[in-house]
């Protein structure tokens, strides 16, 4: 008998489908924070009106990317992506909560250091 195919843990980095583990979430969270810090340093050093106009758009894209990443982390724990609205500023706590070990509604478990694929 043929096994049904499992959906991938993550289809695309820019779409809110699938699951990611704590290690991937930590790396992405760190990269977003580093990008925001770098953006602030550059904005302060350049003092250009055109750069000042660009900053909100880049910040919005980084925020959207972090929301999508948090939705995937919530999927790994078995929660709906809408939970990100309730959590708000507590989203970094997702680094410390384990995901579901097996297949769930949102796909197969991610394979990384903290969450071995079963």
Mean per-residue pLDDT, 54-78 = 92
pLDDT of the residue at 115: 45
- In this structure, what DSSP letter does residue 102 have? S
First to last CA, the chain: 20
pLDDT at 65: 95
- Candidates 11, 8, 113, 26; CA nearest to 73 is 26
pTM of this prediction exceeds 0.85: no
- Residue 84: CB partners within 8 Å, gap ≥ 6? 67, 70, 71, 74, 91
pLDDT tens digits for 3-59?
A: 555 566 677 888 889 899 899 999 999 999 999 999 988 888 887 777 788 888 999
Which residues, 6 or more positions from 20, have their beta carbon under 8 angstroms from its beta carbon? 9, 10, 28, 69, 72, 73, 76, 110
* Confidence at residue 1, expressed as pLDDT on a 0 to 100 scale: 47
């Amino acid at each position: 008998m043929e096994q049904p195919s499992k959906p991938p843990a993550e289809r695309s980095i820019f779409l809110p489908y699938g699951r990611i583990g704590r290690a991937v979430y930590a790396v992405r969270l760190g990269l977003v924070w580093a990008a925001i810090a770098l953006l602030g340093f550059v904005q302060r050093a350049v003092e250009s009106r055109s750069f000042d106009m660009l900053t909100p758009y880049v910040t919005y894209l980084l925020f959207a990317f972090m929301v999508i990443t948090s939705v995937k982390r919530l999927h790994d724990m078995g929660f709906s992506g809408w939970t990100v609205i309730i959590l708000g500023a507590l989203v970094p706590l997702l680094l410390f909560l384990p995901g579901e070990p097996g297949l769930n509604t949102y796909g197969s478990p991610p394979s990384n250091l903290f969450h071995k694929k079963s």
